[in-house]
Structure 1
Amino acid sequence: MTHGAARRRRLAGGAAVVALLPLLAACGPSGDPAGEGSASGGVVTLVTHDSFAVSEEVLADFEASSGLTVEQVAPGDAGTLVNQLVLTKDAPLGDVVFGVDNTYATRAVDAGVFEPYEPADLDPQVAELAPEPLAGTLTPVDMGDVCMNLDDGWFAEHDLPAPATLEDLTKPQYADLTVVTNPATSSPGLAFLLATVGAFGTDGWQGYWEDLAGNGVKVAESWEDAYYVDFSGAGEGGQRPIALSYATSPAFTLTEDGTSSTTSAMLDTCFRQVEYAGVLAGAENPEGARQLVDFLLSEAFQADVPGQMYMYPADPEVELPADWQEFAPLADEPFDVPPAEVDAHRDEWIEQWTATVIG
């Protein structure tokens, strides 16, 4: 199955869940409106981003065992999600949120969006994914590496060695071949901006982007546009063989026999993105919210993450798809910027990036 087909199925799956949930909300586990008279807690509202997806049977099992009915509100991508959480913190959109990532999390925490909550017996390896000031408030659910991806066939056909490093992308032989996404509108775009901050430092990343812009980098507004419109490796007519995506993407561009992938990730260009869940301050159903956070760390949900959202589960003990070890490995040394530094400079860096690249 190609990554394009997988992505379309992911979006269709997410849409199916969105369509299903209002029906579930109208009829609780006992068939009564909104779950009234059911064994416990009624409705719990999950606020999330557009790309959230879960298998219907996994969600149904949670609802049946908890007596809760899950409704979903999806205001937009990860950046829009955080903005909406901050704007509505005095009248929250729901009870619990999933999809705030480490590029935006400190903004929401500092704004007082969340009630402190940490699941009991949280695995120390999972807890490490939520450093201060996120610890005890946000719970890691999944993670993935944002990296540049290559159309390997294009480079073979053009007899051009593939780039391997961030610096390579600024070389003349790779002029007009790269597409990235805008960090002001795209969480992968912000993650890649942070990768360059981690690589070149707070005083050096602007010069790198000047070189990249001078070498003809194209900026798309969304991951979908960069990957499916501009990337030649997606098989949908794109013209650029270097695109910003995820380290897992090559697992969805396999050949028909499944023995190889037509794309690869540049694992020396990555920033590790972690997505969190948290209980919203002022939630109408805080107990249901805590149960839902626990569910997102359950074995059933964690095992569902790779096939539904194409991210690595936070739980390192979960068995991954067989081909991920070969075609979707995580970077050994992803670039890193501490959350507190991201929080202090995020807006400033986006403004500087816009002035440098967009003008």
Structure 2
Amino acid sequence: MRRRDVLKAGAGAGLGLVAGCAGNGGETTTTTPSTTTTATDPYAGELHVATYQPFVDAPSVSPGSWIKEQFEKQYPKATLKWLTPQSELNYFVQRKQAGVGVDADVYVGLNADDLVRVDQELGGDDLFEPIDAGALDNEGHVRDELRFDPKNRAIPFDTGYISLVYNEKKVSNPQTFETLAKPEYASKLLAQNAQTSDSGQAFLLWTIATLGEENYLDYWKRLVDNGARLLDSWSAAYSAYLKERPMVVSYSTDQVYAHRYDQPLAEHQVGFLNDQGYANPEGMARFADTDTPELATAFVDFMLSKEVQSKIPVLNVAFPATDWAEPPESFSKYAHRPPETVTHSYDELKGNLDQWVEQWARQVASN
């Protein structure tokens, strides 16, 4: 699951112009992709798949190399090339705005909020295109509650659930949002800045979904007054959690990591406030400018296959997006699904997201 820390600013601001291409070894180089699809075989040639860098070469877990190997095994005339531009999705938005060709065929790793911002930046100039109904053999296995694009451009391939992670040797599970803001949890919580962190924004959206748009700012004032500490990134907050405080906003797959690295599970307990977890599904979409639509569609379908969906929990430490995945016992035992899933739809985020974050920043992050 992407725990990356990316500034959620306007998609056209301050963006780099060099795309990185990473292969099996995770080595990043500069490249200018070329179209190599043959006229006779739509499943031959190079497929350029863009994603965030940890998906390809994270030091602990990374699905990129395995996905490349398996896809090329299934499509022996195709070569998968990973692209990891520094500014991620924003790189392609800027190219589209500049009237420059988009040098990729598929994007892997966008959330509902990413899609909202892309559409706001580009207006009617679509970056992605819907995949025709019936073109994907495996799409019927996608869990309906994880779908976030009403136009069916972005199709979920995995999801994480935002939760609390706490050290039960030092603090008890607060269990509700209300209890978390009480004096007994003063100076216990670490969270992330909703302007600079995916997990921080997701936690903010969770409070809005559960407490209501009319109440979330008052609640955040209570949290901050109670000593909640905000850091700019998930990694910074988690590092501080391991050293300084007993509770952090994180993901409900935390015990998978803890078990894998022989960490005491008592120090990595998962808490679902109000018996909820905020779902943050990751999607993949086919670029509208792709010159290899059939091969791009085949890749999307491949990502939804039972084999890949069963491997995602191991390699990306995230819940699969389909109903036919068979995660290994080690994942199923230590990854926790919330009793109730909470999330915002595309339509709910459209026209509201920027305002919510800006209001939160004025009251909370600026203090």
TM-score interval for Structure 1 and Structure 2 normalised by the shorter chain: 0.7 to 0.9
1:152 aligns with 2:163: no
Q: SS at 2:191's partner residue?
A: strand
Aligned equivalents of 1:152, 1:15: Cα separation in 2: 40
1:50 aligns with 2:85: no
Q: SS at 2:356's partner residue?
A: helix
1:102 aligns with 2:112: yes
Corresponding residue of 1:283: 290
Corresponding residue of 2:12: none
Corresponding residue of 2:196: 185
Per-residue CA distance 1:108-143 (angstroms, 9 max, x = gap)? 356311011154234445162464643421111001
Aligned equivalents of 2:301, 2:326: Cα separation in 1: 19
Q: CA deviation at 1:105?
A: 2.3
Matches within 5 A, 1:101-140: 101-109=111-119, 111=122, 112-117=126-131, 119-126=135-142, 128-129=144-145, 131=147, 133-140=149-156
Aligned equivalents of 1:38, 1:225: Cα separation in 2: 51
Corresponding residue of 1:165: 176
Q: SS at 2:354's partner residue?
A: helix
Is the Cα contact below 8 Å between 2:162 and 2:202 reproduced in 1? Answer: yes
Task: Give the stretch that moved more between structures: 253-262 or 188-197.
Answer: 253-262
Q: CA deviation at 1:51?
A: 2.7
Unaligned runs of 5+ in 1: 1-6, 8-13, 27-33, 156-160, 233-237
Task: Work out the percentage of aligned pairs sharing the same amino acid.
Answer: 25
Aligned equivalents of 2:23, 2:312: Cα separation in 1: 16
Q: CA deviation at 1:285?
A: 2.6
Aligned equivalents of 1:103, 1:18: Cα separation in 2: 31
Corresponding residue of 1:199: 210
Unaligned runs of 5+ in 2: 4-20, 56-61
Pick the aligned partner of 2:320 from 308, 313, 319: 313
Residue 223 of structure 1 aligns with an amino acid whose one-letter code is W
Matches within 5 A, 1:30-49: 40-49=43-52
Is the Cα contact below 8 Å between 2:146 and 2:321 reproduced in 1? Answer: no
Aligned equivalents of 1:239, 1:259: Cα separation in 2: 17
Is the Cα contact below 8 Å between 1:198 and 1:335 reproduced in 2? Answer: yes
Q: CA deviation at 1:219?
A: 1.4
1:242–1:285 Cα change, 3 Å: same
Corresponding residue of 1:338: 345
Q: SS at 1:147's partner residue?
A: strand
1:256–1:99 Cα change, 3 Å: closer
Aligned equivalents of 1:113, 1:223: Cα separation in 2: 29
Q: CA deviation at 1:288?
A: 2.4
Aligned equivalents of 2:154, 2:234: Cα separation in 1: 25
Q: CA deviation at 1:21?
A: 8.1
Is the Cα contact below 8 Å between 1:21 and 1:72 reproduced in 2? Answer: no
Aligned equivalents of 2:227, 2:22: Cα separation in 1: 36
Residue 204 of structure 2 aligns with an amino acid whose one-letter code is L
Task: Give the stretch that moved more between structures: 133-142 or 271-280.
Answer: 133-142
Q: SS at 2:158's partner residue?
A: strand
For normalisation by structure 1, the TM-score amounts to: 0.80
Aligned equivalents of 1:255, 1:18: Cα separation in 2: 23
Aligned equivalents of 1:255, 1:338: Cα separation in 2: 33
Aligned equivalents of 1:130, 1:334: Cα separation in 2: 10
Residue 92 of structure 2 aligns with an amino acid whose one-letter code is L
Is the Cα contact below 8 Å between 1:103 and 1:273 reproduced in 2? Answer: no
Aligned equivalents of 1:123, 1:113: Cα separation in 2: 21
Aligned equivalents of 2:29, 2:74: Cα separation in 1: 19
Q: SS at 1:203's partner residue?
A: coil
Residue 50 of structure 1 aligns with an amino acid whose one-letter code is Q
Matches within 5 A, 1:65-84: 65-66=74-75, 67-76=77-86, 80-84=87-91
Residue 114 of structure 1 aligns with an amino acid whose one-letter code is F
Q: SS at 1:207's partner residue?
A: helix
Residue 63 of structure 1 aligns with an amino acid whose one-letter code is E
Q: CA deviation at 1:37?
A: 12
Q: SS at 2:340's partner residue?
A: coil
Aligned equivalents of 1:190, 1:178: Cα separation in 2: 16
Per-residue CA distance 1:1-50 (angstroms, 9 max, x = gap)? xxxxxx9xxxxxx9774636879x99xxxxxxx89999753211111113
1:253 aligns with 2:258: yes
Corresponding residue of 1:63: 72
Corresponding residue of 1:158: none
Is the Cα contact below 8 Å between 2:163 and 2:250 reproduced in 1? Answer: yes
Matches within 5 A, 1:187-266: 187-227=198-238, 229-232=239-242, 238-254=243-259, 261-266=266-271
For normalisation by structure 2, the TM-score amounts to: 0.79
Residue 142 of structure 1 aligns with an amino acid whose one-letter code is D
Q: SS at 2:256's partner residue?
A: helix
Per-residue CA distance 1:30-88 (angstroms, 9 max, x = gap)? xxxx8999975321111111331326344213113312211112235xxx534333222
Q: CA deviation at 1:206?
A: 0.6
CA RMSD for the aligned pairs? 3.3
1:130–1:150 Cα change, 3 Å: closer
After TM superposition, the runs of 4+ consecutive aligned structure 1 residues lying more than 6 A away are 34-39, 255-259
Aligned equivalents of 1:35, 1:141: Cα separation in 2: 25
Task: Give the stretch that moved more between structures: 196-205 or 36-45.
Answer: 36-45
Q: CA deviation at 1:287?
A: 2.6
